[in-house]
Structure formats: C-alpha cells, structure tokens
C-alpha cells in the first residue's frame, strides 16, 4: 500500500537536443522502481529567436507505448509555457517523460515531481 503521507520531491532539468519521437526522444525523467510519481510542475522554455514547436511524451512502461502530453506546441521566441499548472500527472514505476523539438530550435524543460514509495510496485 502506498503511503501518501511521506513523499520525496525531485526536480529534473534538461536541454532538449532530440528532434525525433519515441525511443529517440530525450528522456527527462524516469520514475524509480518501486515508486509512483505525481508530476506537479512542467515548464518548457524556448531560448531561441523564433517561434518553434516542442513535443512532450509519456512512456508508459506497462504497455511499452508512448502517449503525447504536448504534440507540437508553438512557443514564442524567448518565452516559456507552464503545462502542468495547478494539476498533477500521475506516473507509475518505470514510466518516463520524454521530449523532442523542432529542428533548429533551442528548448529547455524542467519537471518537478513528488515520488511515493510503493512496496508492492515493480
């Protein structure tokens, strides 16, 4: 049984370099074994001088499939977008957040999550 009383917070940041989806995308965050995670903050920043597209996917470990969280969102030059603002995204052990960008762009991604120990989880 998961104890939601005690969680550990983590923040991950990455400069996105990949321009391809799925297994070729940059892995930004992976839920550790025997944990579940609630993503509470996801920020994307365009550091370039032109409006460009960014993509964020969730890798679902149980089905070994990918699902889009953001599918080609235009972000203005030198601007940011807060995606999981005021809500949570729940992930299971082994799930990943992956990202890729439009060619010729400069994007950073920051994710904050609370991880909860799940002794019965894989």
Element (H, E) at 65: strand 65-75
> Could you say which architecture CATH assigns to the domain 8-117?
Sandwich (2.60)
What confidence tens digit (pLDDT) does each residue in 4-29 have? 788 999 999 999 999 999 999 999 99
CB 58 within 8 A of CB 96: yes
Closest CA to 18 of 110, 96, 98, 75: 98
Note the pLDDT tens digit of each residue in 54-106.
Answer: 999 999 999 999 999 999 999 999 999 999 877 899 999 999 999 999 999 99
Whether the CB-CB separation of 108 and 45 falls below 8 Å is answered with yes
């Amino acid at each position: 049984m998961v104890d939601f009383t005690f969680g550990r917070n983590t923040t991950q940041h990455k400069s996105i370099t990949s321009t391809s989806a799925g297994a070729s995308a940059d892995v930004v965050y992976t839920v550790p074994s025997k944990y579940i995670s609630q993503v509470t903050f996801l920020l994307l920043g365009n550091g370039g001088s032109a409006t460009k597209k960014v993509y964020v996917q969730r890798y679902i470990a149980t089905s070994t499939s990918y699902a889009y969280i953001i599918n080609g969102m235009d972000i203005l030059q030198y601007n940011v977008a807060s995606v999981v603002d005021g809500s949570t995204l729940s992930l299971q052990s082994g799930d990943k957040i992956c990202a890729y960008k439009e060619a010729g762009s400069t994007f950073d991604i920051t994710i904050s999550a609370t991880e909860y120990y799940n002794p019965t989880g894989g």
